[in-house]
Chains A and B, each alone.
Chain A
Amino acid sequence: MTEPLLSVRDLRVEFPNRRGTLTALDGISFDIAPGEVLGMVGESGAGKSLTGAAIIGLLEPPGRIAGGEIRLKGQRIDTLSPEQMRRIRGKRIGMVFQDPLTSLNPLYTVAQQLVETIRTHMPLSEVDARKRAIALLDRVGIPAAARRIDDYPHHFSGGMRQRVVIALALCAEPELVIADEPTTALDVSVQAQIIDLIKEICAERGAAVMLITHDMGVIAETADRVAVLYAGRLAEIGPVRDVILDAAHPYTRGLMGSIPTLTQESDRLVQIPGAMPRLSSIPTGCAFNPRCPEAFDRCRTERPVPLDRPGGRQVACWLAAKESAHG
């Protein structure tokens, strides 16, 4: 196997507060290969956005990385100085946020925001940066890009703004793009186009994608592998086909019930009865045990360790451990 582009090991993120310390991410480990699309799913509050923020070095204080390590092409990036990390943001890791209506500064034209970002990371003149910006806008599908570039963000529709955001995230040729629910805020009619655009443009530039979403359908169509998060812990990770067709973790099986079909639309993962525990009251043993239909004694006392399975899969579940031991 080639060296992973991004490697996260035992990542632990904590929020210290007056009453103690909340552990928001606990023991998260995964790799992303160059050019690969990794989907990341989980209920609201599972820690998907936090994982992205930790990787890109933008956890909001008092949140902090309390353990583990993050490597980009083998280089440790979680211990870099703020200035060194800033040089990586935008240049080597790009980010696309959820809401394009609020992601762009309303007081600057699209050209100003693009040129500023390009020139932060590349030794280009104002004129060359502008040329590059126009080419990018053209590539992400803004019609009449050379003219529209001097417009302000409010002149664009939501879908068009997300295209601008994508151009901004990609303008310095990053090796990894973290897209945090890039279509949740958009009109249903343009969601598929935006996802396709992200996938295409990253593939053509060889950029890997970490795609955070609630939509299992999108994952099934877009991702190479998928990571399932629950209560700040990794439940299961593996190639998309395998995980979807043969989920090993009971929580993943519950999620699969939420893939929208043609007749019924659902973008929230609500099929499993009960709610995810709050960070301050995660049960001992397996975090999923109060909701798990297959929980047994060991689940309530001992936390399941992630177990490697054939085909590059990993599962953290006692039931799966028992099965593989027997089978």
Chain B
Amino acid sequence: MIAYVLRRIVQSVLVMLVVALVSFSLFRFVGDPVATMMGQEASQADREALRDRLGLNDPVIVQFAGYIARAASGDFGISYRLQQPVMELILSRLPATLELALISGTLAFVFGVGLGVYTALNRRGWLSGTIMTVSLVGVSLPTFLIGVLLIWVFAVELQWLPSFGRGETVDVGPWRTGLLTPSGRASIVLPAITLGLYQMTLIMRLVRAEMLEVLRTDYIKFARARGLSDRAVNFGHALKNTLVPVITITGLQLGSIIAFAIITETVFQWPGVGALFINSVQFVDIPVMAAYLMLIALIFVVINLVVDLLYYAVDPRLRLDRAAARH
């Protein structure tokens, strides 16, 4: 077990190093930071002095090591555009993105699993057919279109929900939350649905396929032959076996949700890191872009790691060392 965990952690660190290299190269290959910072009129000597001060004349490997050391301590430099520490900027925007991702991830999981199980158990029902057909639309419509449609129906026509922003927010320590005010909660509904719809459809189709597969297995037939109730067979035996692979995919989806939040945040003018990133791209604000890249990678890597360990905890077949110890 410990060896497995260690191995996975080493793998994760390696992945992060590769990403750090990519994000570091942004500085070298996309635009010239000295030109960006000093403008056109600075003298050649001033430029050289700055290059020296920024360490740009050091060997690349030394620069990279310095970059990693600073990144590890949370220092990603100063935003070209906003002249604020990048870390500060990201931290102030992160709660908005995380709240949105968490709410839409939860919605996607709950409804995805619920509908997936329902359509698997009632395979021949007309309602299942309808759900499956509608879900095809969910998969094929692009996110921004879904967002715009939702805004049109619920914000413009029905005027039930706000169409942009986060509503009123409250500071809880360093965390700025919108979930504690009525306007904040109303504001998150449409973006959360927009962001989660695709993932929900995905989870639903996965759960359905996986569940149908499990329902055909011998151990389900044997469970029925032992007279266990439908409830025990469907939810105790079949669902648990279905969820093992689903956990993996769903966990990984959480990473994509955060990454895909870029589009949703833009459509709904949601003040999260995704919107920050889009603005940075427009201004070629390299430090912010590089930090965003690292952040997303870190989230993916951590989720991956947690999912793997969870999977390991849920599925006894993977706990081989315990079995080996017995024989």
Please give the residue numbers on chain A whose beta carbons come within 8 Å of chain B beta carbons, in ascending order: 56, 58, 86-91, 94-95, 97, 99, 102-109, 116-117, 120-121, 151-152, 154-155, 165, 168-169, 172
B310 to chain A, nearest CB (A): 14
Q: A91, A97, A105: which has the most chain B beta carbons within 10 Å?
A: A105
Task: Take A120-B232, A152-B316 as given contacts and tell me if A105 and B227 are in contact as well, using a CB distance cutoff of 8 Å.
Answer: no
24 example contacts (A-B, Cβ-Cβ < 8 A) are as follows A56-B225, A58-B221, A86-B230, A89-B224, A89-B226, A89-B227, A91-B227, A94-B225, A97-B222, A97-B225, A102-B217, A103-B219, A106-B316, A107-B240, A107-B241, A107-B316, A117-B227, A120-B228, A152-B316, A154-B316, A154-B323, A155-B323, A168-B222, A169-B226
Chain A, Cβ-Cβ closest to B227: A90
Q: How far is the CB of B181 from chain A (nearest CB, A)?
A: 43
Q: B229 and A97: CB pair below 8 A?
A: no
What CA separation (Å) do A95 and B226 show in the bound complex? 7
Q: How many A-B residue pairs lie within 8 Å, measured between CB atoms?
A: 80
Give chain B's interface residues, CB within 8 Å of chain A.
Answer: 217-219, 221-230, 232, 236-237, 240-241, 244, 314-317, 323, 326
Residue among A88, A107, A151 facing the most chain B CB atoms (10 A cut-off): A107
User: Given A106-B316, A152-B317, do A120 and B219 touch, yes or no (CB 8 Å)?
Assistant: no
Closest Cβ neighbor of A102 among chain B residues: B218
The answer to whether B219 and A106 have CB atoms under 8 Å apart is yes
A105 engages B223 (CB within 8 Å): yes
Q: Which residue of B lies closest to A99 (CB)?
A: B218
Chain B: which residue is nearest A56 at the CB level?
A: B225
**How many angstroms between the C-alpha atoms of A91 and B326 in the bound complex?**
34
Q: Which of B230, B237, B314, B323 lies in contact with A105, CB distance below 8 A? A: B237
Contacts of A58 in B (CB 8 A): 221, 224-225
Contacts of B326 in A (CB 8 A): 151, 155
Contact check, B218 vs A86: say whether CB atoms are below 8 A apart.
no
Residue of A whose beta carbon sits closest to that of B237: A105
The reply to whether B229 and A120 form a contact with Cβ atoms under 8 Å apart is yes
Q: Among B221, B225, B316, point to the contact of A90 (Cβ < 8 A).
A: B225
| Nearest-neighbor residue (CB-CB) of A114 within chain B | B226
